[in-house]
Structure 1
């Protein structure tokens, strides 16, 4: 059944909240370019995250730290041009909001104005409260991010599961409540114990979206290149690979190379 553009209902923060209220799980994937975003939007994904993970999967950096605000805006513009339905969230990159609420506001406004995205996401709890509140005063929706916060990789020193200790678990719950109080419309929880994520989802009323946070949250997010098997070397426990697209692409390239070398491509039919 084809859907006319006029029939497509855009996903909003209000709808995400309603989904949590009625127990419908939220689907979220990353996207960084027009072609991929178009496919994911047509598939019916609820939320597309223009993640600072673009630093890893698109640019080949070891961490998310090097990506700039200008680069995030470029990726966001590409994704926004592709979508008809999905809600688009853009990561504020490292160095564009920490410790300076005015800078947080300016970064968020640039993303919204220059890309046409619907929301921003930033990492941290109590320590970024002022920045979140300032961004919200401009009417920009904010998604929080707790647990493993990749922009703090050098502080943690490792990508292992967070909040296994009681003290860190209590801080995470307290931070989630602070983010809700501030006015965040949703929170991503990354790599934390399943039962702790369940507690957070029960104790705050806004949607909780997990990545490596177990099944008891309100939605799930994965990096699309990991989920599709394009990034072959990254296989954490929380990842389910839904296809081996990397292998398909490699085989297609090998077949093309062989046909070119053997003078099988182009054929007469493929020539003018």
Structure 2
């Protein structure tokens, strides 16, 4: 009887194991049912970026803030999509990046994560979310990954406290991109949006700060608004990629803001915050303005919507019944308007009116 019970239990165990395997999408060689590893064919990884860097292949980065722009970035095959706190200026209309909150940034991060399936996703830590202490910094970074759907975070500056913050976040097993040179969150100290590295002390500081961020464990460093020789020196001194923005051609990669490179914004507010280093690869803003003006004109002149854009029909018999019901309700004027519109649409649809 005991042997029979053992055989029965063994049979149940095999059935249960088989059932679990059929019910689960977890490969048999994994040790736990945690997040699926990144598929290199679906998402750019840090390993791939390092490989490109070792081969001397330039890394492409675009800053985007919403689902439609993220889809375009994804379709173009860009390596990294950065959700920047520059959303404060480009999207929300502020004059600086300082006002945007972490909660607002998370909304942008989630929208981009839904649209960009291939690029490595990096979310900015906005001003006021990592300066107080390392616990605050790690907590903010965790939220960007857990709630924002990002793969990594970016933080600005190279002061000792920020180097410590970067190191703490890396030690929490979160990938960090550094940012030196012009750091927009520090404009009150820098005296505005001013280029850095234009004298000996400032140039040395850019290189030393970049090296300190590398030592803290950052996987790359953004170099913003520094002279090309300074960027070249930093790129040579580091063994991690440098991403230039207004830093010349000698970096490991380049980043531009989606709206800027498309020439999307024509409003005076954006004109004053569009940097001089940005090449506009299109004049999308002019196309948008013309489309809006054409739309306004056609509506004003009763040209839109014509028959082609009024696709929903009601049969003649149903129209007659509708008019009859309107008249029963004492809505003779409404019935006349409906009948007149039907006649006009029928006339517009006729070949002679084309």
Please name the residue that 1:246 is paired with.
285
- Aligned positions of 1:1-272 closer than 5 A: 8-127=41-160, 128-232=162-266, 233=271, 234-271=273-310, 272=312
Task: Kindly provide the CA deviation profile for residues 54-82 of structure 1, in whole angstroms up to 9, marking residues without a partner as x.
Answer: 00010000000000000000000000011
**Alpha-carbon distance, 1:98 to partner:** 1.3
Q: Contact 1:126 / 1:178 at 8 angstroms: preserved in 2?
A: no
**Alpha-carbon distance, 1:236 to partner:** 3.2
Using the size of structure 1 for normalisation, the TM-score is 0.95
**Alpha-carbon distance, 1:10 to partner:** 1.4
Task: Kindly provide the CA deviation profile for residues 21-80 of structure 1, in whole angstroms up to 9, marking residues without a partner as x.
Answer: 101001111110001100111011111110000000100000000000000000000000
| Larger relative contact order (Cα-Cα within 8 Å, sequence gap ≥ 6) | 1
**Alpha-carbon distance, 1:18 to partner:** 1.1
**Alpha-carbon distance, 1:105 to partner:** 0.4
**Alpha-carbon distance, 1:157 to partner:** 1.2
Tell me, in whole angstroms, the C-alpha distance in 2 between the residues paired with 1:41 and 1:56.
23
Q: Which runs of 5+ in 1 are unaligned?
A: 1-5
Tell me, in whole angstroms, the C-alpha distance in 2 between the residues paired with 1:7 and 1:177.
29
**Alpha-carbon distance, 1:101 to partner:** 1.1
Please name the residue that 2:322 is paired with.
none
Tell me, in whole angstroms, the C-alpha distance in 1 between the residues paired with 2:152 and 2:40.
23
Tell me, in whole angstroms, the C-alpha distance in 2 between the residues paired with 1:154 and 1:230.
28
Tell me, in whole angstroms, the C-alpha distance in 2 between the residues paired with 1:7 and 1:193.
35
| Cα 1:7/1:96, change in 2 over 3 Å | closer
**Alpha-carbon distance, 1:158 to partner:** 2.1
Tell me, in whole angstroms, the C-alpha distance in 2 between the residues paired with 1:238 and 1:99.
33
Tell me, in whole angstroms, the C-alpha distance in 2 between the residues paired with 1:255 and 1:126.
52
> Which of structure 1's runs of 4+ aligned residues deviate more than 6 A?
none
| Cα 1:7/1:109, change in 2 over 3 Å | closer
Tell me, in whole angstroms, the C-alpha distance in 2 between the residues paired with 1:244 and 1:185.
34
Count of equivalent residues? 267
Find the structure with the greater CA-based Rg.
2
Q: Contact 1:46 / 1:87 at 8 angstroms: preserved in 2?
A: yes
Tell me, in whole angstroms, the C-alpha distance in 2 between the residues paired with 1:97 and 1:9.
31
Higher helix share: 2
Using the size of structure 2 for normalisation, the TM-score is 0.73
RMSD: 1.3
Q: Contact 1:32 / 1:75 at 8 angstroms: preserved in 2?
A: yes
Q: Contact 1:8 / 1:84 at 8 angstroms: preserved in 2?
A: no
Tell me, in whole angstroms, the C-alpha distance in 1 between the residues paired with 2:229 and 2:97.
28
**Alpha-carbon distance, 1:7 to partner:** 8.7
